[in-house]
Amino acid sequence: MLDTSCSFHLLNKTVIDECKSFTCGNDDLNDFFKNEAENYTKQLIAKSYCFRLKTNLSVMICAFTLSNSKIKVKGLKKGRKLLKTYLTEKLWRGIRLF
């Protein structure tokens, strides 16, 4: 279904605004996608994507976030470094198919 009926998009504020009724069934994940995902992309921490119906782009079928397994802190100011790397949470649970 996704390959023929849907189109793939980077999840950003414009897409979220166009798909206002989307919910993944988890308040924390909904908040992340609506309020934090774009900032994660800008900071190069993770990227969120979604699939939308080709026939009605206001219908988001699923959303998910991909991240690195760790983030190197080389180059951060010395006061901000606590560890050499930070493991990141992988948000696979954001996937919900309708």
Q: What is the DSSP string of 31-75?
A: HIIIIIHHHHHHTTSEEEEEEEESS-TT-EEEEEEEE-SEEE-TT
When pLDDT is averaged across residues 64-83 and rounded to a whole number, the result is 66
Q: What is the pLDDT of residues 8-63, one digit of tens each?
A: 999 999 999 999 888 888 999 999 999 999 999 998 889 999 999 999 999 999 99
Q: Which residue has the higher pLDDT, 73 or 6?
A: 6
Q: Does the global pTM surpass 0.85? A: no
pLDDT value of position 33: 93
**Domain membership of residue 62 as a residue range:** 2-94
Q: How many domains does the chain have?
A: 1
